[in-house]
Amino acid sequence: MASAPPATGCKVVLANTVAQSLLNENKETLAKLSKKPLLVGFLANEDPAAKTYAEYTGKTCMENGFDFELRNVNKDDIEEAIVSANTDDKVQGIIVYYPIFPAESRRDQYIQSVVSPTKDVEGLCHTYIFNMYQNVRFLDAPHNTMKSILPCTPLAVIKVLEYLQIYNSILPYGNRLYGRTITVINRSEVVGRPLAALLANDGATVYSVDISGLQMFTRGEGIKAKKHECHDISMKLEEVLPISDVVISGVPGNGFKVPLQHLKNGAVCINFSSEKNFTPEVKQKASIYVPAIGKVTIAILLRNILRLAHIQAATSQSVLPA
Amino acid sequence: MASAPPATGCKVVLANTVAQSLLNENKETLAKLSKKPLLVGFLANEDPAAKTYAEYTGKTCMENGFDFELRNVNKDDIEEAIVSANTDDKVQGIIVYYPIFPAESRRDQYIQSVVSPTKDVEGLCHTYIFNMYQNVRFLDAPHNTMKSILPCTPLAVIKVLEYLQIYNSILPYGNRLYGRTITVINRSEVVGRPLAALLANDGATVYSVDISGLQMFTRGEGIKAKKHECHDISMKLEEVLPISDVVISGVPGNGFKVPLQHLKNGAVCINFSSEKNFTPEVKQKASIYVPAIGKVTIAILLRNILRLAHIQAATSQSVLPA
């Protein structure tokens, strides 16, 4: 007698499902606060996508018990507007919608660091980026009561990986990806490279892919190494895909598709591009497929506001410089 | 009887002349220190121009009583190398030779802020750039014993302007350019834009020119305004040159020459490009011409090391975060 065929097929996990527990946690934390936290968004460009995202942030804030205020400012006044919000006790979080200045002027990167670490919900100021790359996880060592803020999208990917149990909670905190091989396709300064570093800091071997070539991020020597190392390698995408347990892709635009023929059977596939980097056939090979992560990102954003409210209550200037 | 013709002709001022008093001041300060300050240079590219500049820095250090050590590092190791020098008491100053990473990756700008404010001789970390744009002149307000470090090239131009008495020392410190009109041709993030901001902070009306158009930097409203404002304007180079008392040009490459026919008679002309932005005919119209400023820049670099040695001796972590 023929037995039933094994349960095959790919499990598709939607961002909503992952976001839910984060939003519930947020709700509990929020209930303990004496007042609604206020997030201020600064819009200083004419980009309709930025405007849409700003409106979406506002709507999600309102739905989840946060106040939101959108401030339209002239690009020449953005620095002053942020400096003023930095010291305004009524403001708990600041988000800036980029791009504002042409990329080659490097001014957006300057503006990112004008946002005070005490208000930076996006985790993009130098203090937080430096802590991330250096694997410094708390702002108040050795007390370790205040976690350093991590950039929202990379952290959202990590929350997805935790939900999917790619992070192995049997292992100690900070080592829970030890033994995993992960390919990240995208090495932007805002998402792909930070993500590769974070995954390597947690113990994974990470292949970071972009058009200029591949890099390998590792923890360094052994399980005790304190932070990742990164080196150029001569391997190609089609060589790292077959050895990757997890493939995370975030290539903007519609031109790129992950070459599925090189994918390992049972791989976990996560897309964080606004476009679909995986064709529908991914479900014939992947064990788990996450088609988008946007709703997790916004849940992280709200969580960061709550962390900042805690930091604002707990810190003095001597701990966190403006 | 015909009187003698008026003394005409342009006074040419060489950088050496301006640098001399700075170098003498440095010598006096140095004599009071208990040990030679050590400047460490990090070279992480294959650019022959960077290597030449590094060798020149070393030579000038040695000639002026400073120790210099050049460290060749792989670009993947630059962050760690700087972090290590940041906390090494033997090191008084750090200089990094850029570019290291491709401009579009924005990583050089990140590296600039990895250098600790206590060691940053170039004044390029976020703390110093922010203080410059915000016109914050001291690190330890309200005591005001430790001056914020300014980027070398913009400050060198200011020292040239002081030497030339464009800064009017009759006016109070911080207002000594009040009433002057200055055109700066170059608006890079490293030199031109900071320079325009510094000059406006000191009271000048500044026209900032680059290929994307003109901006006007002013102190804001009245002599009491605390820092500059900046706005796009629709004027053209040939309209601002005739009303400028001082014309400062730093356009890289050999293609650009200041259109002398629009220059005001008696203008002060300063070139900070490695190429000659003024043709020799400038001397027929200018009252003063400074063909190059490199030697002033290096004198400022040495002065910044001495300031940092003072800051290192005087500060604790609570004043200057790493």
Residue A171 class from Cβ within 10 Å (0-12 exposed, 13-18 middle, 19+ buried)? middle
Instruction: Please say if the pLDDT value at position B321 is more than 70.
Output: no
User: pLDDT value at position A317?
Assistant: 42
Q: What angle do CA A55, A58, A62 make, to 5 degrees?
A: 140
What is the average pLDDT across A28-44? 95
Using one digit for the tens of pLDDT, what is the confidence trace for A164-204?
999 988 888 888 998 899 999 999 888 999 999 999 989 89
Hey, is the C-beta of A133 within 8 angstroms of any chain B C-beta? yes
User: pLDDT value at position A34?
Assistant: 87
In whole angstroms, what is the distance from residue B197 CA to residue B218 CA? 8
pLDDT classification of B91: cutoffs 50, 70, 90: very high
Considering chain A, what is the average pLDDT of its residues?
90
In whole angstroms, what is the distance from residue B198 CA to residue B182 CA? 12
Architecture of domain A35-145+296-311: 3-Layer(aba) Sandwich (3.40)
Hey, is the C-beta of A46 within 8 angstroms of any chain B C-beta? no
Structure tokens at A229: 């190392």
Using one digit for the tens of pLDDT, what is the confidence trace for B185-237?
999 888 999 999 999 989 899 999 998 899 999 987 644 456 778 888 889 99
Phi and psi at residue B241, in whole multiples of 5°?
-60, -45
A106·B110 Cβ contact <8 A: no
Q: What is the ipTM of this complex?
A: 0.76
In whole angstroms, what is the distance from residue B257 CA to residue B251 CA? 9
Report, in angstroms and rounded to the nearest whole number, the Rg of chain A calculated over CA atoms.
20
Using one digit for the tens of pLDDT, what is the confidence trace for A219-234?
876 444 567 788 888 8
Hey, is the C-beta of A281 within 8 angstroms of any chain B C-beta? no
Report yes or no: B301 and B23 within 8 Å, Cβ to Cβ.
no
Using one digit for the tens of pLDDT, what is the confidence trace for B224-282?
456 778 888 889 999 999 999 999 999 998 889 999 999 999 899 999 998 999 999 99
Nearest residue of A to residue B80, measured between CA atoms: A134
Among A102, A106, A130, the residue with its CB nearest the CB of B109 is A106
Hey, is the C-beta of A103 within 8 angstroms of any chain B C-beta? yes
Considering chain B, what is the average pLDDT of its residues?
90
User: pLDDT value at position A182?
Assistant: 97
Q: B315: which chain A residues are within 8 Å (Cβ-Cβ)?
A: none
Best probe of the B interface among A116, A130, A136, by most B CBs < 10 A, is A130
Q: How far is CA B99 from CA A53, A70, B46, B105, in A?
A: 34, 37, 10, 11
User: pLDDT value at position A174?
Assistant: 82
Q: A189: which chain B residues are within 8 Å (Cβ-Cβ)?
A: 105-107, 110
User: pLDDT value at position B3?
Assistant: 55
In whole angstroms, what is the distance from residue A15 CA to residue A299 CA? 10
In whole angstroms, what is the distance from residue B118 CA to residue B140 CA? 13
Hey, is the C-beta of A321 within 8 angstroms of any chain B C-beta? yes
CATH topology of domain B153-294: Rossmann fold (3.40.50)
User: pLDDT value at position B322?
Assistant: 42
Helices (H), A32-86: 48-63, 78-86
Hey, is the C-beta of B221 within 8 angstroms of any chain A C-beta? no
| Helix and strand totals (H; E) in chain A | 9, 11
User: pLDDT value at position A2?
Assistant: 52
In whole angstroms, what is the distance from residue B19 CA to residue B299 CA? 6
Question: What are the residue ranges spanned by the domains of chain A?
Answer: 35-145+296-311, 153-294
In whole angstroms, what is the distance from residue B205 CA to residue B227 CA? 12
Best probe of the B interface among A75, A105, A191, A214, by most B CBs < 10 A, is A105
B189·A103 Cβ contact <8 A: no
A110·B126 Cβ contact <8 A: yes
3 state SS of A172: coil
Instruction: Please say if the pLDDT value at position B56 is more than 70.
Output: yes
Selection from A250, A240, A238, A251 nearest residue A217 by Cα: A240
Q: A79: which chain B residues are within 8 Å (Cβ-Cβ)?
A: 133
Q: A102: which chain B residues are within 8 Å (Cβ-Cβ)?
A: 212
Using one digit for the tens of pLDDT, what is the confidence trace for A237-252?
999 999 999 999 999 9
Hey, is the C-beta of B261 within 8 angstroms of any chain A C-beta? no
Phi and psi at residue A125, in whole multiples of 5°?
-75, 160
pLDDT classification of A1: cutoffs 50, 70, 90: very low
User: pLDDT value at position A321?
Assistant: 44
Neighbouring C-beta atoms of residue B247, cutoff 10 Å: 29
Which residue is catalytic, options A10, A61, A125, A152? A152
Q: B232: which chain A residues are within 8 Å (Cβ-Cβ)?
A: 76
Which residue is catalytic, options B61, B125, B152, B269? B152
User: pLDDT value at position A226?
Assistant: 63
In whole angstroms, what is the distance from residue A90 CA to residue A147 CA? 22
Instruction: Please say if the pLDDT value at position A318 is more than 80.
Output: no
Residue that has been written with the tokens 């990140």 in this structure: B110
pLDDT classification of A322: cutoffs 50, 70, 90: very low
Instruction: Please say if the pLDDT value at position A52 is more than 80.
Output: yes
Using one digit for the tens of pLDDT, what is the confidence trace for B9-20?
799 999 999 999
Among A103, A126, A189, the residue with its CB nearest the CB of B126 is A126
In whole angstroms, what is the distance from residue B167 CA to residue B152 CA? 18
Neighbouring C-beta atoms of residue A211, cutoff 10 Å: 7
Selection from B293, B288, B290 nearest residue B191 by Cα: B293
Determine what percent of chain A is predicted with pLDDT higher than 70. 93
Instruction: Please say if the pLDDT value at position A206 is more than 50.
Output: yes
Using one digit for the tens of pLDDT, what is the confidence trace for B58-67?
999 999 999 9
Per the annotation, the verdict on A10 as an active-site residue is no
User: pLDDT value at position A9?
Assistant: 78
Determine what percent of chain B is predicted with pLDDT higher than 70. 93
Using one digit for the tens of pLDDT, what is the confidence trace for B292-303?
999 999 999 999
Instruction: Please say if the pLDDT value at position A289 is more than 70.
Output: yes
Poorest-confidence range of A156-160, A193-197, B140-144? B140-144
CATH topology of domain B34-121: Rossmann fold (3.40.50)
Instruction: Please say if the pLDDT value at position B285 is more than 80.
Output: yes
